[in-house]
Copies of this chain bind each other. A is one copy, B any other.
Amino acid sequence: MPIEFSPWVAEQQANVELALSAALPQAAPAGLCRAMRYAVLDGGKRLRPLLVLATAEAVGAPAALAMRAACAVEMIHAYSLVHDDMPCMDNDVLRRGKPTVHVQFGEASALLAGDALQAQAFEVLLPEDGSVPAALSVRWCRLLAVASGACGMAGGQAIDLASVGVALDQSALTQMHRLKTGALLQASVMMGAACADISAAQTQALARYGAALGLAFQVVDDVLDVTADASTLGKTAGKDAANDKPTFVSLMGITQAQAHADALLDEAHQALAHTGLTAVERLHQLADWVARRSH
């Protein structure tokens, strides 16, 4: 019988923390690495790395191999938070219970640290020691570039920017979130899946799992933004409503939004059942964790 979920999460979070610390520069010039390490280390649920590692386990790939992909997606996620928190974007001062990077190090350093983290994410996927086959590095880098670029995360953030005070319908809101947060969450699953050879049908089922989980994550985020407080969230609560941004809650109400999250959770579980893979327990648990979290 596998160990319970919470100890597994704690163990993997510790492994990810160690791997991230080793993968980040120790001595970049002019204190740049201090801002990079502050942005990445000692915080966060590590949901994306956990998705990579759990998917790698499901497809029977070695954790040591998958850990590179886990670090890369977390670096991309961290850079996006650094830039998103800047005054010209969301102007947030609190993140993971700590001052945001630009508050701590200044705006220019935050901008550069985010830029350098994006490059570092790709570098992690391209070791010179031959430990990653070239074909896998290529698949990883392609998944990561597409998920974080103009038709992925950055594109979703652009829609978000343009949608302040705009009446998006559910379809447009869904599209925004599929790009803004869903693309990288789904890419985490796909980068884990890429660590082994599985069938096209299995890949597609995992993609459906990642998409459903990714959207559920955002719907729950919108619910928590109005129901939780800053000390629970570790970031400023109620920002979306205050900024007149459309959310699933403003569109459907809290009860309906929660029901939507539940339906997406069902979809994620069903997609996993269609993979035909047996070691998917962690992925089931991660979906539950995302849909039922309190922060």
> Using a CB–CB distance below 8 Å, which chain A residues touch chain B?
25, 28-33, 36, 79-80, 83, 86, 88-89, 106-109, 111-112, 114-116, 118-120, 122-123, 125-126, 128, 134-135, 137-138, 141-142, 144-146, 148-152, 154-159, 161-163, 175-176, 179
Q: CB within 8 A of A111: which of B29, B36, B111, B125? A: B111
A11 to chain B, nearest CB (A): 29
A106 CA to B120 CA in the complex, in Å? 27
* 10 pairs of A and B residues whose beta carbons are closest in the complex: A119-B149, A88-B107, A28-B150, A116-B154, A32-B158, A30-B158, A123-B145, A30-B162, A134-B134, A116-B150
Residues from chain B with Cβ under 8 Å of A116 in the complex:
149-150, 154-155
Residues from chain B with Cβ under 8 Å of A108 in the complex:
88-89, 161
A100 to chain B, nearest CB (A): 14
A183 CA to B148 CA in the complex, in Å? 24
A208 CA to B115 CA in the complex, in Å? 27
A125 CA to B144 CA in the complex, in Å? 13
Q: What secondary structure prevails in chain A residues at the interface with B?
A: helix
Residues from chain B with Cβ under 8 Å of A115 in the complex:
79-80, 83, 114-115, 118, 148, 154
Give the residue name and chain of the B residue nearest to A150 (CB).
B28
**Stoichiometry (number of copies):** 2
> Are A162 and B111 touching (Cβ within 8 A)?
no
Residues from chain B with Cβ under 8 Å of A31 in the complex:
158, 162
Residues from chain B with Cβ under 8 Å of A123 in the complex:
142, 145-146, 149
Residues from chain B with Cβ under 8 Å of A142 in the complex:
123, 126, 128
A197 CA to B109 CA in the complex, in Å? 39
A116 to chain B, nearest CB (A): 4
Q: A116-B149, A123-B146 are in contact. Are A29 and B158 (CB under 8 A)?
A: yes
**Can you show 11 pairs from A to B with CB atoms below 8 A apart?**
A29-B155, A31-B158, A86-B88, A88-B107, A109-B158, A112-B157, A115-B118, A120-B150, A123-B146, A123-B149, A134-B138
Give the residue name and chain of the B residue nearest to A134 (CB).
B134
Residues from chain B with Cβ under 8 Å of A125 in the complex:
141
Told that A83-B111, A134-B137 touch, could you supply 7 new A-B pairs with CB distance under 8 A? Answer: A29-B155, A30-B162, A86-B111, A89-B111, A115-B118, A116-B155, A119-B144
A214 to chain B, nearest CB (A): 17
